[in-house]
Amino acid sequence: MLNHTLDQIAALKFHGLKAALLEQLEQPGAYTEMSFEERISHLIDREVLDRRNRRTQRMLGISKLKHKSVFPEDVDYQAPRNLQRSVLQSLFQNRWLQEHHKPVPPGQERPSWPVSSVIRPSCQATRYITPAYHR
């Protein structure tokens, strides 16, 4: 019966839930003190996290960024790039994406390192807007 249930979970593409259920089955002592509701909540949380992570990876692939591992916290405002903290902070809030603007300065072929730090949070946003860069 368990194999049938796992096959149905896989058919529904609940990959995170299946992984969490297998983890609970492999470590029964760690979950025996949890109530039914807590265990179900744990399974659903893992599924939501798995979907969010897969979506982020998919969006990063679509965005074709040169610098995929750049985060807003990594931006060095002290470097001689004339970066204005207020401008980048407003870009980090993804308003440019909602208004269908490009965060890349005119004449630049590919997003630079600071611009990549702006695009990455949009890949993790909850709205389904693709932050792809097109020439």
pLDDT digits (tens, 9 = 90+) for 69-84: 667 676 776 767 666 7
Provide CB contacts within 8 A for 105, sequence distance 6+: 115
pLDDT digits (tens, 9 = 90+) for 46-55: 999 999 889 8
Using the structure block, give the residue that is written with the tokens 């204005």.
Answer: 84
Q: Angle of helix 113-123 relative to helix 85-92, nearest 10 degrees?
A: 30
Does the pLDDT value for residue 66 go beyond 90?
Answer: no
* Residue 62 token pair: 């679509």
**Neighbour-count burial of 117, counting CB atoms closer than 10 A to its CB (0-12 exposed, 13-18 middle, 19+ buried):** buried
Span 93-100, average pLDDT: 66
Predicted TM-score (pTM) of the model is 0.64
